[in-house]
Structure 1
Amino acid sequence: MNPSLPAPRPFPALLRIQALEAWYELLAVLRQPAFALPTLLFPVVFYLLFAVVLPGKWGGLERAAYLLATYGVFGVIGPALFGFGVGLAIERDKGWLELKRVSPMPTMVYFVAKIAMSLVVGLVVVCLLSIAAVFAGGVRIAPGTWVLLVATLMLGTLPFCAIGLWLGTLVRGQGAVAVVNLVYLPMSVLSGLWIPIFAFPVLLQKLAVLWPAWHLGRMALGVVGQAQDVRYGLHATVLLATTAVFLGLAALRLRRG
């Protein structure tokens, strides 16, 4: 063994480091009410407004079940975009990222902790939405279907983590919130997450395929039975390709400083 190289850490020790970093990342987010409260409450409030206050069906579709899927997507991509985009930008400005790079902690632990934070916050949002859907919206969903929906939404956060990571390498901390919102909100609306995509002009319906949120939304709608002929393989491929592209772009930016 080369004595100049640090000895590899035992796997249990690495797991402990990862768990601690993820826990501190989650605590940091929860201590920021300007991030935590809107992220947790906005999807539920919008859901109650459009699914419960304005009940009904759209061409045989159940409004409450339909919006559970689309607002579920809206709810999980927010923590991914803001956790990486805003968090990374602020930590770059403060020099924390450089400090973590020179520390003994493996660099990958830092990024995995942010993914874990996004998944935990996203899961809480989905659970709150599900409670609202069942008790206020009258949605009846089988346990197996709900688990499949949650799994789809959780795995679907990865491309948005990658997009957030890339945005975090582009902007400074003070402007990060505005830039992320300029991506998050138009993408959510134009992907049909707030209002069904069939309510849009034909041109916007055709352009929706350009948004990764639309592809995740189609998968979620298919899981809850509110979309027919869903091409899961195609949508998953688009999301994986989006993840790879933006991870590559972010890696290039991080290497350049």
Structure 2
Amino acid sequence: MNTLPMFPARGAPSWLRLHALEAWYEFLRVLRTPAFALPTLCFPVVFYLVFAVLVPGDWGSVHKASYLLATYGAFGVMGPALFGFGVGLALERKQGLLELRRVSPMPASAYFLAKIAMSLAFALAVVGLLAAAGTGLGGVSLPAVAWLKLLAVLLLGTLPFCAIGLFIGTLAKGEAAVAIVNLVYLPLSLLGGLWLPLKVFPAAMQSLAVLLPSWHLGQMALGAVGQAEGVRFGLHAAALGVATVIFLVPAALRLQRE
């Protein structure tokens, strides 16, 4: 006699649902980690308030608050990408969680897309906080098109830094990744002209900036808010794309060999 199962079989979860859930859990995990969430959200805003609002100074034809909104926006979105991938992956490799995920039925793409989604979510929050500080205290006034262009530039600009973070995460072991990411993050920000305009540095340092993805992202952000003339968005976007490939390919190869 044929019998029906007590609990009917359920279909496999959809690809979209798997990825959405993994992204949501990754976001919650990072949000509940104060050592990551608080510096990521607060440092760019605090620096912006100090240098754009509290420190006096006339930058001539450049609107200081708008200029620093763009550059500190670039600085702010780099952090979640570098630390989320670099430190997160290194710690999960050390704890054996990466191997556990590999033997689970979860698609590998869900793991990496979840970290990208987390980086974008934190980047969006940072940009929102900077925009509130700029408009409320810095006197920033931009048309809607400029705001949308700035947001698009900064969110898409996280991708090469996700790749850099991923590469660091495949090299570093455990907590050492924090120091390595900082050794990459801070010089990229300073030498890329995100903290101070490049014109304050020696000419040799200014010429090296074109090799840094942080400089290209900063230039696109400045062009979006009208604080830099003659910005070649296509050229800068291509440079960021090349940087993404340069770090993504060896990171993928290293992960395959593990």
Question: The TM-score by the shorter chain falls in which range?
Answer: over 0.9
Match of 2:166 in 1: 165
Pair 1:180-2:181 in alignment: yes
Match of 1:256 in 2: 257
Pair 1:19-2:20 in alignment: yes
d(CA) in 1 for partners of 2:68, 2:20 = 34
Match of 1:92 in 2: 93
Pair 1:45-2:29 in alignment: no
Q: Which has the larger radius of gyration?
A: 2
Match of 1:6 in 2: none
In the alignment, structure 2 segments of 5+ residues that lack a partner are 1-10
Superposed CA RMSD in Å reads 1.1
3-state SS of paired residue (1:61): coil
AA aligned to 1:243 is T
1:59 Cα deviation (Å)?
3.5
AA aligned to 2:45 is V
* Partner deviation per Cα, 1:121-158 (whole Å, 9 max, x = no partner): 00000000000000000000112210110011000100
Is the 1:56–1:62 contact (alpha carbons within 8 Å) kept by the matching residues of 2? Answer: no
1:159 Cα deviation (Å)?
0.3
Identical residues among aligned pairs (%): 65
Match of 1:198 in 2: 199
Match of 2:4 in 1: none
Match of 1:5 in 2: none
Match of 1:234 in 2: 235
AA aligned to 1:81 is L
d(CA) in 1 for partners of 2:223, 2:145 = 14
Pair 1:117-2:118 in alignment: yes
Mapping of residues 35-74 of structure 1, within 5 Å: 35-74=36-75
Is the 1:47–1:129 contact (alpha carbons within 8 Å) kept by the matching residues of 2? Answer: yes
Is the 1:55–1:63 contact (alpha carbons within 8 Å) kept by the matching residues of 2? Answer: no
* Partner deviation per Cα, 1:69-92 (whole Å, 9 max, x = no partner): 000000001000000000000000
Is the 1:189–1:195 contact (alpha carbons within 8 Å) kept by the matching residues of 2? Answer: yes
3-state SS of paired residue (1:192): coil
In the alignment, structure 1 segments of 5+ residues that lack a partner are 1-8
3-state SS of paired residue (1:252): helix
1:255 Cα deviation (Å)?
1.5
Match of 1:244 in 2: 245
3-state SS of paired residue (1:57): coil
AA aligned to 1:205 is Q
What TM-score results when the alignment is normalised by the length of structure 1? 0.94
* Partner deviation per Cα, 1:171-198 (whole Å, 9 max, x = no partner): 0112010000000001100001011111
Q: Which moved more, 1:81-90 or 1:245-254?
A: 245-254
Aligned length: 248
Match of 2:152 in 1: 151
3-state SS of paired residue (2:175): helix
* Partner deviation per Cα, 1:5-48 (whole Å, 9 max, x = no partner): xxxx97x7111111110011011111110111010000000000
3-state SS of paired residue (2:184): helix
1:239 Cα deviation (Å)?
0.4
